[in-house]
Structure 1
């Protein structure tokens, strides 16, 4: 799932722009957004690795709620 990593660069660019233009609250929000994006990307990578290793019944990202994306 490395093809999703580009979004982290875009978020960093947006944060830089926000900071340079006096949009401090937006810059802070983009920090939070970056953490969420990184967690979801990492979760996708872990799920892909587990499937490649023949593991089943993996849990998806729990960002936003515990077990929110459980798979049978």
Structure 2
């Protein structure tokens, strides 16, 4: 487990609580949030592996910039 994987456990606990307490929309949103968190954590792991292998680092997220604000 990496230093950021704990957040996936927290999100799962929150989803369980939401489902058990009739908060269906929140539970669905937490599913989406979990997918985004997993993608970003995976991206960080890939970047770290690339750097260890001497490959050039890519700037940005392979998750397509999800969750990032863009300005015109």
* TM-score, normalised by the number of residues in structure 2: 0.82
**2:18–2:27 Cα contact (<8 Å) kept:** yes
1:15-61 CA deviation, whole Å, 9 max, x = no partner?
Answer: 00000000000000000000000000000000000000111142432
**1:5 matched to which residue of 2?**
5
CA-CA distance at 1:63 after TM superposition:
3.5
Question: Distance in 2 between the 1:47 and 1:64 partners?
Answer: 17
Instruction: List runs of 5+ in structure 1 lacking aligned partners.
Output: none
* 2:14 pairs with 1:14: yes
Unmatched runs of 5 consecutive residues or more in structure 2:
none
> Residue 24 of structure 2 corresponds to which residue in structure 1?
24
| Structure with greater helix share of residues | 1
Q: CA RMSD in A?
A: 1.9
- 4+ residue runs over 6 A deviation: none
Q: TM-score, normalised by structure 1?
A: 0.82
